[in-house]
Amino acid sequence: MADMTPRILTFSNAAYVPVTRNWLAHLATLGLAEQATVVTLDSGARTAFPVEQVLHRPAPEPGLAGLWKHRMAVCQEILEAGEALIHSDADAIWLDDPRPRIAACGSEMVFSQGTVWPYDIHERLRLVLCCGFFYLAPTSRVRTLMDQVLQRLDTDGGEDQEAVNRVVAETIGGWDVEEPYEIAFRDTTFRASRRPIHARPDPSLVAVLPHHAFPRRLEEVTREVVVAHPFSEKTGAGTRARLAALGLWRSEADAPAPPTNLTRDRVETAVAAAGASMGDFLEDPSAPPLPERPVRDVEKALGKKLVTGGRFGATFTLALGAGAREALETGRARLQIGSMRPQAEIDGVRIAIDDFSGHVQILIGSAGTVMLGRLGQVRLDVRLGHQGVLLIGDGTTVNQARIIAVNSAILVGRDGLWSDEILVQGFDQHGIVDLATREIINRDRKNVLVGRHAWIGRRATLMPATRIGQGAIIGTGAVVTRDVPPCTAAAGSPARVLREGVSWSRSWLEFDAASTAFFDEVAPLDDSASPAAPHRWPFPRPSG
């Protein structure tokens, strides 16, 4: 019997906030809204819903292709936590409680019925599953199948619905369809039943809900409909128009959606792609992002010229925290922003600085993003462009560093200590050409990831596509060309690990509070400490 206390799940970005509000309004009529979780994909969606209702998981890859894989990964995350779930697209409108019908199927996976996509699966089995509404139990069989779905998405890309149908088709022997009938769809038909459809030979694995009660092809809403999921344009406006035409739109959903914060969204996307979390960089990752304002408005409010030597468009924003504003007003900090292409107009620049002392210079070649947390004393020379991302976490101090954040993401964990004359090279800066093919072979985006509480020594160089683990020590003059594990000391050119199981404190006389907290987390002094704890990667490499 299916677990009928599942987590009810939908996904939303800022553009889909009104559609998601409409979905929640229908759930509220059924007394189910408080059991729903909204997986938010950007800052606009995250601030649109009560914090207790939000599971914030920004997609690591942009576009629909990234969303399909991300949706399956979040579902797998919930299953691995031991929870059953019902996933519902926000345009799949609940008119009655579907849980009794799901429970009556008695299967570990229950899907609504699709129409004819993927076409070859429909031709072979005469039935396809829809990923707009489904139930998953947290059993080992379901988790194994979901692993296979994620592997297929990694390998083949495409939609999650295609991957799910192919994995299920490879697992089952067919479908038992009682009292079948045909539904016309475009230039063909698909098979349906007024009863649940079960997989052969094991009906306890997968079931399909009756199409008349969970319709995808929907011309009008009848009393038989439990969840209405009509076809519509996958845009907020297109979906609203289709739902309204069927009488499924609630007026309370029309409240304006909060604005997105593109600085935070770009940074969170880069962090998610690295397999990290914002907690590796910010002490309070749930705090609202700093409000973005046009850079000229910020200059006017401060009475200081921050931008020189360039032409920047209307989408160049600067967000300053109270500490950064006070530092600039009193002179304990200087911020200089300029252009590497003075004759070109540059748009799409996003900069956010919470607090700092010292001097930050940012030279911009094209669109990019800089986010600096609540820093200590810093002296930074940043080169930004080609959708580069720079994030430096709370509590980090930098005596002097040049950072090349072009066609790359440079992510620096919180509570770090950087010495002088450090170079972080996010990309090669010039093209390497294969003479036989005349192709530039080093265009791939490469990142540099530094875990929290890492100490980077004087004149160290961090090369593209390197990862430094949390608590690590990088020696003077080191050239880091490969990964350095957590809680190790590395030095040399190229850098190699000289000692394991070590970290550092800001004082050589006693431990500071931040270091003590870090040591207690990674290597607690009791008999239950895991010997592997200090070697946990904060940035697990993506599979494949």
Rounded to the nearest 5°, which phi and psi values hold at 141? -65, -40
pLDDT band of 540, cuts 50, 70, 90: very low
**Do the strands 188-192 and 488-491 form a parallel or antiparallel pair, or are they unpaired?**
unpaired
Q: Do domains 7-254 and 263-427+447-535 have the same CATH topology?
A: no
In words, the CATH class of domain 263-427+447-535 is: mainly beta
* Amino acid in the structure at residue 37: T
Q: Is the predicted pLDDT of residue 531 greater than 50, yes or no?
A: no
> What percent of the chain clears pLDDT 70, i.e. is strictly above it?
96
* pLDDT-wise least confident of 9-18, 218-227, 408-417, 507-516: 507-516
CB atoms within 10 A of CB 310: 20
pLDDT band of 534, cuts 50, 70, 90: very low
Cα–Cα distance measured from residue 473 to residue 455, given in angstroms and rounded to the nearest whole number: 5
pLDDT for 538: 47
CB 418 within 8 A of CB 397: yes
* For range 409-418, the mean pLDDT: 97
* Amino acid in the structure at residue 257: A
| Cα–Cα distance list, 248 to 97, 226, 227 (Å) | 16, 13, 11
Q: Is the predicted pLDDT of residue 355 greater than 60, yes or no?
A: yes
* For range 143-153, the mean pLDDT: 97
Q: Which CATH superfamily is domain 7-254 in?
A: Spore Coat Polysaccharide Biosynthesis Protein SpsA; Chain A (3.90.550.10)
Q: What is the pTM of this model?
A: 0.78
pLDDT band of 263, cuts 50, 70, 90: very high
Q: Is the predicted pLDDT of residue 73 greater than 50, yes or no?
A: yes
Q: Check residue 106 and give left, alpha or beta (phi > 0: left; psi -120 to 50: alpha).
A: left
* For range 471-495, the mean pLDDT: 98
Look up tokens 């319709």; give the residue: 215
* pLDDT-wise least confident of 61-65, 69-73, 125-129, 346-350: 61-65
Cα–Cα distance measured from residue 149 to residue 218, given in angstroms and rounded to the nearest whole number: 28
Rounded to the nearest 5°, which phi and psi values hold at 93? -90, 125
pLDDT for 315: 87
The length of the chain in residues reads: 544
Q: Is the predicted pLDDT of residue 285 greater than 80, yes or no?
A: yes
Enumerate the domain spans of the chain: 7-254, 263-427+447-535
pLDDT band of 51, cuts 50, 70, 90: confident
- Averaged confidence pLDDT in the chain: 92
Residue-by-residue DSSP string for 387-431: TEEEEE-TT-EEEEEEEEEESSEEEE-SS-EE-SSEEEESS-SS-
Secondary structure class of 69 (helix, strand, coil): helix
pLDDT band of 254, cuts 50, 70, 90: confident
Which two structure tokens, joined as six digits, stand for 367?
Answer: 């669109």
Cα–Cα distance measured from residue 544 to residue 536, given in angstroms and rounded to the nearest whole number: 19
* For range 481-485, the mean pLDDT: 97
Residue-by-residue DSSP string for 447-515: -EEE-SS-EE-TT-EE-SSEEE-TT-EE-TT-EE-S-B-TTEEEETTTTEEEEES----S-SSS--HHH
| Cα–Cα distance list, 373 to 47, 376, 536 (Å) | 20, 9, 24
Cα–Cα distance measured from residue 184 to residue 374, given in angstroms and rounded to the nearest whole number: 60
Digit-coded pLDDT (tens) for 184-241: 998 899 999 999 999 999 999 999 999 999 999 888 999 999 999 999 887 788 999 9
pLDDT for 536: 41
